[in-house]
Amino acid sequence: MSLRRLCLSLLLLVPMPASAQSAAILAALKDGDSPRVLVAAHRGAHDAAPENSLAAIENAIALGVDIVEIDIRLTRDGVPVLMHDATVDRTTNGTGAVADLLFSEIAALRLTGADNQPTGLSAPTLTAALAAARGRVLVDLDLKTRDVEPILSRVIEAGMLDQSLFFNGDFALIEKFRAIHAGVLPMPRARSLATTRQAGAAFAPEVIHIDPGFNDDATRDAARETDSRLWINALGEPDRLVAQGRAAEALAPLLQHGASIIQTDQPKAVIAWLAASGRR
């Protein structure tokens, strides 16, 4: 075991204050040799709380995830809020496009639960989400807007620049963030081996998001050229198998070619399987 791996392993075994906790996750993220597979909770841990809610973020942190994925849109008056869909119809008791509603109007709505009934929760602002995550977990910002300044300014104000991944499949959009602040951590989405190489050449990123169709040794080797981790989703069929207690069948194929970050809707079970198989 290398000295770098040994130091990282010792860090992860010792209970840490919140700031040290996020620092250890960031160190593992940046260590291309780290054996630790990182887990990202898709829209937070939303089995017992609405997706993209502060409660879902808190639940994910309590489970011990490394990264919380959240979706960012802008209201009509330019406030970044957490909302996956272009409209509020599916996840709240209201209707209308996020871009057409004032923040005060969205704040008055209530997020709905698994039974589609309103809860006591409202859609949080990006600022509130970053405050909840700071020093405790990294965040993956799934950018649903091309308006850079409102997002980046709030990340910087929250002191979360070194704990936030900026995710998008449009390399030009990511470059806009990097042009404003060189400290941005980009997570480009690759669509092929060729775009994996392009992402590495353009950003030398800590993470490249790939898809199962080209999750192979060639992609792994391309990512290694820039010491980039590979992020892959367990969303859909793999997560369905995980929920059935078939985690090895679902997850081993995702990891066999070198992917080392798993995004999932089943974070608790995924973490348990990874720990049992020596990957945590």
- Model pLDDT, residue 13: 39
Tell me if 230 sits within 8 A of 256, measured CB to CB: no
Three-class DSSP category at 45: coil
**Residue predicted with more confidence, 90 or 14:** 90
Distance separating alpha carbons of residues 109 and 185, to the nearest angstrom: 33
DSSP 104-138: HHHHTS-BB-TTS-B-S--PPBHHHHHHHHTTT-E
Within 8 A by CB and 6+ apart from 256, the residues are none
Among 237, 232, 235, which residue's Cα sits nearest to residue 43?
A: 235
Asked if 210 and 203 count as a contact pair (C-beta separation under 8 A), the reply is no
| 246's tokens | 């078939």
Model confidence at 1, in pLDDT bands (50, 70, 90)? very low
| Unique residue bearing structure tokens 């400290």 | 183
Stretch among 22-31, 38-47, 154-163 having the lowest mean pLDDT: 22-31
Q: What is the pLDDT of residues 145-167, one digit of tens each?
A: 999 999 999 999 999 999 999 99
Query: Could you read off the pLDDT of 57-83 as tens digits, one per residue?
Result: 999 999 999 999 999 999 999 999 999
Q: Where are the alpha helices (DSSP H) in the chain?
A: 3-13, 18-30, 54-63, 103-107, 126-133, 148-157, 171-180, 193-203, 217-224, 237-243, 247-255, 267-276
Reported residue count of the chain is 280
Can you tell me the distance from the alpha carbon of 167 to that of 176, in angstroms, rounded to the nearest whole number? 12
Residue of 3 and 134 predicted with greater confidence? 134
pTM, to two decimals: 0.92
Residues 222/190, Cβ–Cβ less than 8 Å: no
Question: Mean per-residue pLDDT for 172-201?
Answer: 97
Check whether 20 has a pLDDT greater than 90: no
- Angstrom distance (rounded) from CA 45 to CA 264: 9
- Span 25-44, mean pLDDT? 92
Half-sphere exposure of 92 (CA within 13 A, CB side): 25
Question: pLDDT tens across 214-262, in order?
Answer: 999 999 999 999 999 999 999 999 999 999 999 999 999 999 999 999 9
To the nearest whole percent, how much of the chain has pLDDT over 90?
89
> Residue 78 is which amino acid?
G
Question: Residues near 230 by Cβ (< 8 Å), separated by ≥ 6?
Answer: 207, 208, 210, 215, 219, 220, 223, 258, 259, 260, 261
- Closest by CA to 72, choosing from 35, 127, 26, is 127
d(CA 25, CA 64): 11
pLDDT band at 18 (very low <50, low <70, confident <90, very high): low
Q: Where are the domains of the chain?
A: 1-36
